[in-house]
Amino acid sequence: MTEMVFGTTPIRAGDPILPRWWRTLDKWSLACVLGLFAMGLLLGLAASVPLAEKNNLARFYYVQRQAFFGGVAICVMLVISMLSPRQVRRLGVLGFALSFLLILALPVIGTDFGKGATRWLSLGFVSLQPSEFLKPGFVALCAWCMAASQQVGGPPGRMISLGAAIAVVLLLALQPDFGQASLVLFSWGVMYFVSGAWLLPLMLVAGLAIVGGIFSYGASEHFARRIDGFLSPEIDPRTQIGYATHAIKEGGFFGVGVGEGSVKWQLPDAHTDFIIAVAAEEYGLIMVLAIIALYAIIVVRSLLRMMRERDPFTRIAGSGMACAFGVQALINMGVAVRLLPAKGMTLPFVSYGGSSVIASGIAVGMLLALTRSRPQGELGELLRRGR
């Protein structure tokens, strides 16, 4: 129990890789991820059936696909969690380069599937959303640059990372995918802060983001329509937000009952962007609080571990990964209760989507690898010695 709570079990020299990996792994976070995936399958049994019937497919077609992609994601997550921080860095930089090239190719070979945003590559049997795979690679690349800038005579890593962030945000905004662009910019801001940089440049970037949002409102009808719907004092009950908020109110504390909800028949994205509305309606506030608790445990435990980490890359990358994971979940649930404008962002490990769940597996695998306990002096101990 001590190693699960504090994660301080030492590594024994000569241990086989699997026992060493298991002893140093954050088992509570792993258990929470598996719990989220199980909840996603449970909710998919209800949320995806109407879409399958509409498309003349087997009733549990999307659940079976989610189980397959989720199984792949968990295997990928476990394999990546065995890597060292240096291997995580290399994997992340390579993944960023490949994803960035795919995003550059989207205007030529991408598709929007009728949703007004060119975000996907259609491979016939499966579709791929490159921006989902870009995020963990982007965090690893920026953390590498920022850590290198802390070395004596090191490169201007913070400026390089800022250039990468601006390039990625512009490409995502052109799709348009303002939700992912906001998440990328937020994760960069977290890492920039953790790296110990001045706050003034961070405030300037925030100001530029606000200016960019104002410009996008005037230039993009897609963006303006979502902002206008969010700012409107009245909720149109025939919109997705209207159906979702009504379902959440109807669910109450204990829900209307398993399979008894109606929002899954009204929302085309009930199994993806608005899966939390299905959970709230059929299972009530109890299910929603359980989902929030699982995300919170993963994020808080990871950040607490990073506070004790003395390797700059590990500390910066781990903080960025944890915050990006938690904020994506926060954005998805915030949209459903109308605290945020609609952004088309999935709920990690819970929403349906091959790209989403596999990319989440990669990101959390990197996070688990970075949060593994390693033989090192605690940061506070090193500071005391320096005195």
Q: Among residues of the chain, what percentage have pLDDT more than 70? A: 90
pLDDT reading at 328 higher than 80:
yes
- Look up residue 267 and give its two tokens: 């929302």
Q: pLDDT band for position 18 (50/70/90)?
A: confident
User: What confidence tier does 14 reach under pLDDT thresholds 50, 70, 90?
Assistant: low
Distance from first CA to last CA of the chain, Å, rounded? Answer: 34
Which of 345, 342, 106 lies closest to 222, judged by CA? 342
- Confidence (pLDDT) at 84: 93
Q: In this predicted model, which residue has the larger pLDDT, 79 or 125?
A: 79
Please report the pLDDT score of residue 343 as a whole number: 75
pLDDT band at 15 (very low <50, low <70, confident <90, very high): low
Distance (Å, whole) CA 256 – CA 244: 14
Task: Find all residues with CB under 8 Å of 83, minimum gap 6, and list them.
Answer: 91, 366, 369
Helices (H), ranges, 55-177: 61-80, 85-109, 130-149, 157-174
Residues 31-66 have pLDDT tens digits of 999 999 999 999 988 888 888 888 888 888 899 999
Under the banding of pLDDT at 50, 70 and 90, the label for residue 90 is very high
User: Is 1 or 308 the better-scoring residue by pLDDT?
Assistant: 308
For residues 328-357, average pLDDT:
88
pLDDT at 346 over 80: yes
pLDDT computed for residue 299 by the predictor:
97
Q: Does the reported pTM lie above 0.95?
A: no
CB–CB of 195/150 below 8 Å? yes
**Mean pLDDT, residues 278-286:** 92
Say what the pLDDT of residue 136 is: 95
Give burial (CB, 10 Å; 0-12/13-18/19+) of 78.
middle
pLDDT bracket for residue 213 (50, 70, 90)? confident
Domain parsing of the chain, residue ranges: 15-374
pLDDT of 382 higher than 50: no
Give me the pLDDT at residue 358, please: 94
Tens of pLDDT, residue by residue over 240-251, are: 788 888 888 888
User: For residue range 64-87, what is the model confidence (pLDDT) as tens digits?
Assistant: 999 999 999 999 999 999 999 999
Query: Which pLDDT band, with edges at 50, 70 and 90, does 125 fall under?
Result: low
pLDDT band for position 304 (cuts 50, 70, 90):
very high
Averaged confidence pLDDT in the chain: 85
Q: What is the mean pLDDT of residues 89-93?
A: 96
